[in-house]
């Protein structure tokens, strides 16, 4: 089940809201838990048992960590090994065996293992709970149903943001629901829904066509990667907006996951604005424990390589994602070596151009089917060939021009304008009317189109 579907928008969500708000306070968590399990099991019923097993195992690991402090390192190790082991088996085992077979010429056979939706997200969430209990940053959760709710809460279960237990522990037990908060949630959900359906989904056919190699020209390649750069941002940030919005409808406050990443003036800044929940997770649970930047330059660079190697691998069992992660690590190291100081002396426009160029080239590795295709695509972005003029109209018709322009227009903040709108009751009403009309238009597009899952579902 996806948020941008008729069954979710007109059946699941309204029924759940009705049951939730008419239930007594002490039963609301149970309502949300059951609804979240139904949501997850809707498309893959058998995988619900894997998630419930993880909840059960990590619940007892937390209990043992708290009770037997002298052996806490042992129980932490068991918890980390178990969680990463489950992730490895379901996400990386086939990739590892295939790679080993290609390198050694062996013919080891393992059954094909289907990837459970959202396993990377809920595994990292439950690991944050275990680690924070070990660090004594949170108290152990003794109610297994509340822990299960934290792990399975449907708004952010499938594609984030990665919600850490420390950020919602108090809200699980007691949270505020009000009309004002519900209203804010509806607006945020509508914005995210519109971003997904009206921009990301509309750019998808162009992206698929260009990456399939149907328009072999410099023009076609640049248009294609621009479209994908906008598509993945509006798809993923749209999901995060919907998750944050629905969280508010049920009284939760989730942290932001995006902060207009394409206005960045460096790659370092980009990673402070893109997928913030993942970046901070790796920072707090891997980069800093490895020593961060406190143990000399060489160690810092090695830590960056490790973190971004694993960041790439976290996104998928493919050499494309590994190269994508290391690609960013290289530029982060280059900036730390002194290029960041040079950048700051350059005009802001040059800083933006540099950042966007690196980001767009990086997205080629993320989107291409394999490394060879990625290299060929990047080559096609810079080496003249094909008939640019002949492909012009085929690549970029008026419809795609419109959605590209809308994507560019809404990928930057309008802080001053929003402050003036919020300062005026009339301005606020007009803004919300615009959001409502856009939401209705998005629903019309959704009803008229087919199934369109979020890009991050595969992670």
Which tens digits make up the pLDDT trace of 15-68? Answer: 999 999 999 888 999 999 999 999 988 877 888 899 899 999 999 999 999 989
Residue 158 falls inside a structural domain = yes
Instruction: Note the pLDDT of residue 394.
Output: 56
**1 within domain boundaries:** no
- Per-residue pLDDT at 364 exceeds 80: yes
User: H helices of 105-255, where?
Assistant: 119-134, 144-152, 154-157, 165-173, 179-194, 201-211, 218-249
* 148 and 269 housed in the same domain: no
Mean pLDDT score of the chain: 89
Candidate ranges 102-106, 392-396, 449-453; pick with highest mean pLDDT: 102-106
Give pLDDT, residue 107.
82
DSSP code per residue over 199-235: IIHHHHHHHHHHHTTSS-SHHHHHHHHHHHHHHHHHH
Domain match, 104 and 77 both: yes
Q: What integer pLDDT is reported at residue 312 of this predicted model?
A: 95
Angle at 239 between CA 233 and CA 240, to 5 degrees: 90
Residue 305 pLDDT > 90: yes
The verdict on 359 and 316 lying in the same domain is yes
Same domain for 403 and 284, yes or no, is yes
Q: Identify whether residues 218 and 80 lie together within a single domain.
A: no
426 domain residue, yes or no: yes
- Of 157, 174, 191, at which residue does a domain stop? 174
What's the average model confidence in pLDDT over 353-365? 97
DSSP one-letter code for 153? -
- 50 and 170 assigned to the same domain: yes
Do 54 and 123 meet the contact criterion of CB atoms below 8 Å apart? yes
Q: Examine residue 316 and state whether it is found in any structural domain, yes or no.
A: yes
Domain with 222, as residue range(s), is 180-458
**pLDDT at 459 (0 to 100):** 55
Three-state DSSP at 115 gives coil
Of 174, 193, 224, the last residue of a domain is 174
What is the pLDDT at residue 333? 96
List, in order, residues 6 or more apart from 79 with CB less than 8 Å away. 57, 58, 61, 65, 127, 130
Cα–Cα distance, 325 to 309 (Å, whole number)? 5
What are the distances in angstroms from CA 219 to CA 21, 210, 365, 377, 386?
53, 10, 19, 12, 9
Residue 395 — pLDDT band, cuts 50, 70, 90? low
CB under 8 A, 24+ apart: contacts of 445-449: 445/197, 445/198, 445/201, 445/202, 446/4, 446/5, 446/6, 446/9, 446/197, 447/6, 449/197, 449/201
Question: 3-state DSSP call for residue 125?
Answer: helix
Instruction: Out of 98-107, 128-137, 148-157, 215-224, pick the least confident.
Output: 215-224
- Winning range, highest mean pLDDT, from 326-335, 366-375, 405-414: 326-335
User: Looking at residue 274, what is its pLDDT?
Assistant: 95
Residue-wise pLDDT for 236-285, tens only, equals 999 999 999 999 999 999 999 999 999 999 999 999 999 999 999 999 99
Does residue 441 lie in a domain region? yes
Q: What average pLDDT score do residues 377-405 get?
A: 74
Report whether 43 contacts 117 (CB < 8 A). Answer: yes
Of the pLDDT bands very low, low, confident and very high (cuts 50, 70, 90), residue 457 is low
- Percent of the chain clearing pLDDT 70 (strictly above): 94
Read off the tokens for 370.
Answer: 């394999």
Give the largest Cα separation in the chain, rounded. Answer: 72
Asked, for residue 149, whether it belongs to a domain, the answer is yes
- 281 located within any domain: yes
Q: Quote the pLDDT of residue 3.
A: 84
Report, as residue numbers or ranges, the catalytic residues. Answer: 315
Do 21 and 48 have their domain in common? yes
Is residue 52 located within the same domain as residue 21? Answer: yes
Of 164, 134, 142, 135, give the one whose Cα is nearest residue 151: 164
Measured CA to CA, the distance from residue 441 to residue 414 in angstroms comes to 23
Given a contact cutoff of 8 angstroms between Cβ atoms, the answer to whether 165 and 146 are in contact is: no
Q: How many domains does the chain have?
A: 2
The answer to whether residue 109 is domain-embedded is yes
- Domain end marker among 120, 152, 174: 174
Does residue 448 have a pLDDT over 90? no
pLDDT of residue 62: 94
Say yes or no: 343 and 238 in one domain.
Answer: yes
Residue of higher predicted confidence among 400 and 397: 400
* pLDDT value of position 450: 62
**Confidence (pLDDT) at 227:** 94
How do the residues of the chain divide into helix, strand and coil, expressed in percent and rounded to 5?
75, 0, 25
Q: How many other CB atoms are there within 10 angstroms of residue 29's CB atom?
A: 22
- Provide the pLDDT for residue 389: 52
Query: What global pTM score does this model have?
Result: 0.92
Q: Is 444 in the same domain as 339? A: yes
Same domain, 274 and 384: yes
- Alpha carbon distance 98, 170 (integer Å): 45
Residue 454 pLDDT greater than 80, yes or no: no
Radius of gyration of the chain (CA): 23
* Rounded mean pLDDT, 329-339: 95
Asked whether residue 61 falls in the same domain as residue 184, the answer is no
């Amino acid at each position: 089940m996806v948020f941008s579907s008729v069954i979710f928008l007109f059946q699941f969500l309204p029924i759940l809201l009705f049951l939730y708000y008419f239930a007594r306070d002490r039963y609301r968590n149970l309502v949300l838990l059951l609804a979240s399990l139904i949501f997850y099991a809707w498309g893959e019923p058998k995988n619900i048992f894997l998630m419930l097993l993880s909840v059960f195992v990590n619940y007892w690991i937390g209990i043992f960590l708290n009770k037997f402090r002298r052996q806490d390192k042992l129980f932490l190790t068991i918890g980390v090994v178990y969680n990463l082991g489950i992730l490895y088996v379901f996400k990386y085992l086939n990739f590892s065996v295939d790679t080993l077979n290609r390198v050694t010429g062996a013919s080891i056979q393992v059954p094909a293992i289907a990837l459970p939706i959202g396993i990377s997200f809920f595994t990292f969430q439950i690991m944050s709970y275990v680690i924070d209990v070990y660090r004594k940053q949170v108290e152990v959760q003794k109610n297994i149903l509340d822990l299960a709710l934290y792990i399975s809460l449907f708004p952010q279960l499938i594609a984030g943001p990665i919600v850490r237990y420390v950020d919602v522990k108090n809200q699980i037990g007691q949270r505020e629901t009000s009309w004002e908060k519900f209203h804010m949630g509806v607006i945020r959900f509508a914005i995210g829904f519109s971003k997904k359906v009206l921009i990301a989904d509309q750019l998808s056919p162009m992206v698929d066509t260009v990456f399939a190699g149907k328009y072999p020209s410099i023009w076609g390649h640049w248009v294609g990667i621009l479209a994908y750069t906008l598509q993945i941002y509006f798809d993923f940030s749209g999901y995060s907006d919907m998750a944050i919005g629905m969280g508010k409808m049920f009284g939760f406050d989730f942290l932001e996951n995006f902060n207009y990443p394409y206005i960045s003036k460096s790659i370092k800044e980009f990673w402070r604005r893109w997928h913030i929940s993942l970046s901070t997770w790796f920072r707090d649970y891997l980069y800093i424990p490895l020593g961060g930047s406190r143990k000399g330059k060489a160690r810092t660079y090695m830590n960056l390589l490790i973190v971004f190697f694993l960041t790439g691998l976290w996104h998928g069992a493919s050499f494309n994602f590994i190269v994508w992660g290391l690609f960013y690590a290289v530029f982060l190291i280059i900036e730390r070596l002194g290029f960041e100081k040079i950048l700051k002396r350059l005009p802001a426009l040059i800083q933006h151009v540099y950042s966007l160029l690196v980001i767009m080239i990086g997205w080629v590795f993320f989107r291409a089917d394999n490394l060879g295709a990625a290299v060929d695509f990047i080559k096609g972005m810079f080496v003249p060939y094909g008939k640019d003029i002949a492909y012009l109209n085929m690549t970029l018709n008026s419809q795609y021009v419109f959605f590209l322009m809308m994507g560019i227009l809404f990928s930057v903040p309008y802080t001053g304008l929003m402050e003036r709108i919020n300062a005026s009751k009339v301005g606020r009403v007009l803004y919300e009317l615009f959001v409502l009309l856009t939401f209705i238009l998005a629903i019309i597009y959704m009803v008229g189109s087919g199934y369109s899952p979020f890009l991050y579902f595969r992670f």
